[in-house]
Amino acid sequence: MKILLNKATLFETLRPFNDLGFVPTMGGIHKGHLSLINKSNRLCKKTIVSIFVNPKQFNNKKDLKSYPRNIKKDLKILKKNKKIDFVYLPKFKDIYKDKNKSKIKLHKKDKILCAKFRKGHFEGVLDVMDKLTKIINPQKIFMGEKDFQQLYLVKKLLEKKYKTKVIPCKTIRDKNNVALSSRNFLLNKSNLNVAKNIYKKLVRIKKNINKKNNISDFLNSQKNKLKNIYQIEIDYLELRNINNLKISNTNKNSRIFIAYYLNNVRLIDNL
Ligand code: AMP
């Protein structure tokens, strides 16, 4: 596993390879990330992982400050995995020329779910993914369905602009079905217990959805119930079509999407 610390070394090293799988991450490596890496290893000759906590995609300074960072531990886990050929650890200046905001604009119809609640977040994500793809020039990019809206928007942008394919990867969960996330490192036992119960409730809600005449009213009342039971803030609880992310009124081709806060940590999931 070769560590690449800047663009120049990266260009030099990657030049001979034309079957490259890319797994972009912000570190805090967990089994969710490793599943993307394993898939890349199966489908591509070489795999490159990037670790870059992209400040431009954080709409909240506190969130950026508290984001889990442990590069030593991450490298140890990645090395042990034995399926990674290259790790790219860019500095801010390697990616960006200046601190200005992203020039990428979201379409009005895409300002839903997390885009509605995290102003500027996806503009930052799309900008960094555009830049990383230009630098790395991978044949395939592996991204998790846990961040479904991110996957949807990045796929739409990159597959139009580059020859790369964005490959969706299933959400990996812990033994209690809580979706793995680097942010889970910031949760205590009791928070994780609530997350486990929320997952259970979501399964129930999804099961019952098709029996309801007015799904949006049903989800609204369920959202309020969850808020009251667990004393939590919920940004959204919505049923959306997985192909266009439009509000859906059937379970078919649809998932429920949730974003909520535990211990001031914002968690998202979909099922
Ligand atoms: P992050 O480091 O959180 O930016 O995530 C890097 C990549 O890993 C993104 O494509 C995420 O969607 C993906 N990912 C994060 N958590 C999971 C998970 N639990 N299962 C599958 N993929 C995940």
Q: How far is CA 126 from CA 32, 68, 155, in A?
A: 21, 21, 10
Q: What pLDDT, on a 0 to 100 scale, did the predictor assign at position 231?
A: 97
Residue having the nearest C-alpha atom to atom 18 of ligand 1:
32
CA of 35 to the centre of ligand 1 (A): 9
Our answer to whether residue 33 is catalytic in this structure is yes
Give the model confidence (pLDDT) of 245-262 as tens digits: 999 999 999 999 999 999
Q: Which pTM was predicted? A: 0.98
155 in helix, strand or coil?
helix
CA geometry: angle at 198 spanning 197 and 201, to 5°?
Answer: 90
Distance CA 140, CA 200 (A): 34
Is the Cβ atom of 132 under 6 angstroms away from ligand 1? Answer: no
Q: What pLDDT, on a 0 to 100 scale, did the predictor assign at position 193?
A: 98
Closest by Cα among 147, 267, 250 to 195: 267
Sequence ranges of the chain with CATH classification 3.40.50.620:
2-169
Give the model confidence (pLDDT) of 181-214 as tens digits: 999 999 999 999 999 999 999 999 999 998 999 9
CA of 144 to the centre of ligand 1 (A): 5
Give the model confidence (pLDDT) of 43-59 as tens digits: 999 999 999 999 999 99
Q: What pLDDT, on a 0 to 100 scale, did the predictor assign at position 18?
A: 96
The CATH code that applies to domain 182-270 is: 3.30.1300.10
Is the Cβ atom of 143 under 6 angstroms away from ligand 1? Answer: yes
Is the Cβ atom of 50 under 6 angstroms away from ligand 1? Answer: no
Is the Cβ atom of 57 under 6 angstroms away from ligand 1? Answer: no
For the chain, 271 residues long, give each residue's pLDDT as a single digit of tens: 999 999 999 999 999 999 999 999 999 999 999 999 999 999 999 999 999 999 999 999 999 999 999 999 999 999 999 999 999 999 999 999 887 878 899 999 999 999 999 999 999 999 999 999 999 999 999 999 999 999 999 999 999 999 999 999 999 999 999 999 999 999 999 999 999 999 999 999 999 998 999 999 999 999 999 999 999 999 999 999 999 999 999 999 999 999 999 999 999 999 9
Atom of ligand 1 nearest to the CA of 144: 12
Q: What pLDDT, on a 0 to 100 scale, did the predictor assign at position 98?
A: 81
Name the CATH superfamily housing domain 2-169. Answer: HUPs (3.40.50.620)
Distance CA 184, CA 271 (A): 18
Atom of ligand 1 nearest to the CA of 146: 12
Distance CA 81, CA 95 (A): 27
Sequence ranges of the chain with CATH classification 3.30.1300.10:
182-270
Residue 227, classified by CB atoms within 10 Å of its CB into exposed (0-12), middle (13-18) or buried (19+), is: middle
Mutate which of 22, 29, 33 to test ligand 1's pocket (most atoms within 8 Å of Cβ)? 33
Is the Cβ atom of 149 under 6 angstroms away from ligand 1? Answer: no
Contacts 24+ apart (CB under 8 A), 249-256: 249/215, 249/216, 250/210, 251/206, 251/209, 251/210, 255/148, 256/202, 256/205, 256/206, 256/209, 256/219
